[in-house]
Structure 1
Amino acid sequence: MTGRKSNPLDVAIIGGGPSGIAACVELSNASELRVALFESEQELGGMPRTCHFFFGMRDRKRIYTGPGYAKRMNNLAWKTAADIHLDTTVLQIVPGHSGDLHEIQVASPEGFRTFDARIILLATGCYESPLNARMISGPRPAGIFTTGTLQDLVNSFHLKPGKSALIIGSEIVSLSCAITLRRAGMSIAGMVEEDDELQTYPQLANSMSKLIGFPIFKNTTLHSISGVKRVDGVKLIENTTGEIKEVKCDTIILTGKFRSYSPLIDNTVIGYDPATFGPAVDMNLMTSAPGIFAAGNVLRGAEMHDLCALEGKRAAKNIIKYLKPNRERVSEYISIKAESPIRYVVPQKITQKEIKSYRASFFSPGPSVQLEHTLKKGALEAWSGSQIIWKKPFSKLIANTRITLPLNEFDWQKANSNKEIVLKAIVM
């Protein structure tokens, strides 16, 4: 690499979505740190730039459209003293050893450069699983998109990707997909969910189905895709009966099944969570590499934008505390993990002292879990070895939505500090 930066940074933020921008603003407003924000796109704002509405409720205390929210966050970032590098891709990070500076190698239209930073904040977001990750048989004709690609084509480039689309998945993003398709003037051939329960709020999904006019195929799997140059239909299989149903469409939208976008931690000392493939963090949002933090959807896959922004702000506050010379160092952690059907838990390392001093709320995101699929009449449990230290029943646990984990309600007197905490979801 060439063109080494002569003046090292205090904080390098990688990612210009809600969490990265919120961290940038907080760090710039609350300190005199030398901050730089690196974004691979030509604009700041992340996914909200091509979305619809209902943005900003918890972090901005008002409701914006997606583009309006992205513009507001963009303006806030440019008002700070931070150096903002657009159209700049971070190729590699090299964590420092024993308090050494971390190295960041980037590529931009100006060429290759290397920066040094005392702190790195990973805020690279997430992505929807593409076709080749979904084990779907058949050819690969044109007309297959993820929600993100669809929204970019329709909302950014004002294109009509097809005539009739089939939506695969029923997460909250699938409903946003339906709105985008109608905005593009396309008909909807249906929404397909492989589980017997919708993976979002059923009343909202059913109301939209009736309002827009499309069927919902529950307990149904996409068996195969037909078409040579362009999609011309699919075969669906009913999971219980094995009945095959053919549906005509020229477009397929693959929604949900989000995964952390975290290639920068590959082949580094930064520990990752095998459940999310993102970095594992403690309650201060620091990874296993001292001085490298992470916030937002890089930790878990999809989460609401405003919660990501609030988490970015919290990461910034923790970074400021970390840089103080007299900070208190934590040497012992309790590991916490989740068993299926719980999809993840964040953070993955906790301390009882931090639990007592921290309270999660509607406007302050804290430890949380998400489920792989919706459960009726279930319960969440926490186990320490053979001891159950917390249990809470639910009438319904909606998949792919944030469930706050009240760690302060756990019976820590029963917990074994030498045992990891295991979270379970059961059907009652």
Structure 2
Amino acid sequence: MSTARTPLEPEVVIVGAGPAGLRAAQELAPTVSGEVLVLDREQRAGGIPRHCAHTGFGIRDRHRMLGGPAYAERMVRDTEEAGAVIRTSAMVTGWSSSGGLEVTTPDGLLEVRAPAVVLATGARERPRTARLIPGDRAAGVYTTGFLQNLVHLRHRGVGRRAVIVGSELVSWSAVLTLRHAGCRTVLMTSEHPRPEAYSLFSAPGRHLLRVPVRTPARVSRVLGGSRVEGVEVEDLDTGARHVVECDTVVLTGDWIPDNELVRSAGLELDPGTLGPVVDAELRTARPGIFAAGNLLHPVDTADIAALDGRQVAASVLDHLAGRTPGERRVRVVADAPLRWISPMVRRVGDRAPARNRLLAWADRYVPAPRVVVSQGGRVVAQRRLLWPAVPGRVFRIPGDLLNAARPDGGEVRVSIR
């Protein structure tokens, strides 16, 4: 392969062909004068829904319920019909000295330079090494994403008895994948006092699928030789430990954004999300670079990521038309027990965030929380919400609670009580 890079100059380049990137491309392609190019490192476009062989996709963005593969196929089809170009097996490895994207493909090296760049690279689950789970280095430990790729795309088998770490919505997706592969889930654990997933999912899962859920508990050690033979489970209330026999361990949740391009571009990272700092229109601090989807809020559902794509498309069009954002802005930060909040910047003159919702993440359960917005040491807005803040899933806050914040009043802090 030659080391010379072939230059490409689309009007917009989007990195990531998941729901956020594809929806942005659908909105932009019929409108901009030049090409809208979508790059993805996978062999097929569609993102995570491609290998989620269960229903529940498309409710908020398509107003119908679809299975994961069907949702992904429709997103890809609509993107191509809109006129966007999708290039798969295209790994974006970094930024060139001229500000373009360096891309490696099976056909050679590319340098893609565009007036607007949208980063929609998504998020991934932390592997065992990042979770610091000790024990034997035995085969049979997977993340949900790898498990679903193995079962639904490669049509490979796994074990017969599985323990799932985590009890988020994605954890129940892992249960269904294991069931499809003929593997029984013998235990699900959560370090929180109660399961993180909505009761709508966890209650039927526990009873209909007969999955026992232990809280608060953690897998403290993996046991086995060449293959997993069991795990040691610790009760976090009593400290008691016991061994559960299994040949498969699935690590679910505990998300981290795929932020390599953000870091290599020198963009500011939010310490809570570890994704880029953006305003309500999903602009980063560098003009012409935007971000959308679960790169910003790890992790929300596919349809919410797709609505981010629609939001960012409007901002890209403003940028291409030469409209500049307002200079008056304030930083929005989360106070404990909130870990993060998105968007992180409020700018005068911006549109409301997608669905007029701020997205946040709570580290402990708070029923019917009172959201408190303060600025300069003074409470400027507060509201009691009817839905709980629960660890392991995104907590949605009405965006109009920030309307009382002054653009010259300094940092805005958001907390729940």
TM-score (normalised: structure 1): 0.92
**Does residue 167 of structure 2 align to residue 176 of structure 1?**
no
- Match of residue 91 from structure 2: 89
Residue 342 of structure 1, aligned match among 338, 341, 344: 338
Spell out the pairing of 1:350-369 with structure 2 (5 A cutoff): 350-354=346-350, 358=352, 364=355, 366-369=357-360
Residue 73 of structure 1, aligned match among 69, 72, 75: 75
How far apart are residue 407 of structure 1 and its match?
3.5
Counterpart secondary structure, 2:239: coil
Q: Structure 1 residues 95, 295: CA separation in 2 closer, same or farther (over 3 Å shift)?
A: farther
Counterpart secondary structure, 2:70: helix
Residue 59 of structure 2, aligned match among 57, 60, 63: 57
Spell out the pairing of 1:29-428 with structure 2 (5 A cutoff): 29-51=30-52, 52-94=54-96, 102-325=99-322, 327-354=323-350, 358=352, 364=355, 366-394=357-385, 396-410=388-402, 412=404, 415=406, 417-426=408-417
The one-letter amino acid of 1:345's match is: I
For the residues of structure 2 that align with 1:283 and 1:216, how far apart are their CA atoms? Answer: 38
For the residues of structure 2 that align with 1:104 and 1:375, how far apart are their CA atoms? Answer: 43
* Bigger mean CA deviation after superposition, 188-197 or 339-348: 339-348
How far apart are residue 136 of structure 1 and its match?
1.1
How far apart are residue 164 of structure 1 and its match?
0.2
The one-letter amino acid of 1:63's match is: M
How far apart are residue 168 of structure 1 and its match?
0.4
Q: Structure 1 residues 95, 70: CA separation in 2 closer, same or farther (over 3 Å shift)?
A: farther
The one-letter amino acid of 1:62's match is: R
How far apart are residue 352 of structure 1 and its match?
4.2
How far apart are residue 282 of structure 1 and its match?
1.0
The one-letter amino acid of 2:51's match is: T
- Match of residue 99 from structure 1: none
For the residues of structure 2 that align with 1:339 and 1:383, how far apart are their CA atoms? Answer: 10
Counterpart secondary structure, 2:49: helix
Q: Structure 1 residues 306, 280: CA separation in 2 closer, same or farther (over 3 Å shift)?
A: same
How far apart are residue 76 of structure 1 and its match?
1.4
Counterpart secondary structure, 1:344: strand
The one-letter amino acid of 1:14's match is: V
Q: Is the 8 A contact 1:95 1:289 kept in 2?
A: no
How far apart are residue 371 of structure 1 and its match?
1.6
For the residues of structure 2 that align with 1:259 and 1:281, how far apart are their CA atoms? Answer: 17
* Bigger mean CA deviation after superposition, 37-46 or 381-390: 381-390
Q: Is the 8 A contact 2:280 2:352 kept in 1?
A: no
For the residues of structure 1 that align with 2:353 and 2:310, how far apart are their CA atoms? Answer: 16
Q: Deviations over 1:121-158 (max 9, x none)?
A: 00001000110111211122101000111111111122
The one-letter amino acid of 1:406's match is: P
Q: Percent identity?
A: 30
Q: Is the 8 A contact 1:94 1:268 kept in 2?
A: no
Any unmatched runs of 5+ in structure 1?
97-101
Counterpart secondary structure, 1:153: helix
Q: Deviations over 1:260-283 (max 9, x none)?
A: 111012232311111111111011
For the residues of structure 2 that align with 1:394 and 1:78, how far apart are their CA atoms? Answer: 41
Q: Is the 8 A contact 1:91 1:106 kept in 2?
A: yes
Paired residues, what number? 413
Spell out the pairing of 1:4-23 with structure 2 (5 A cutoff): 4-5=6-7, 8-23=9-24
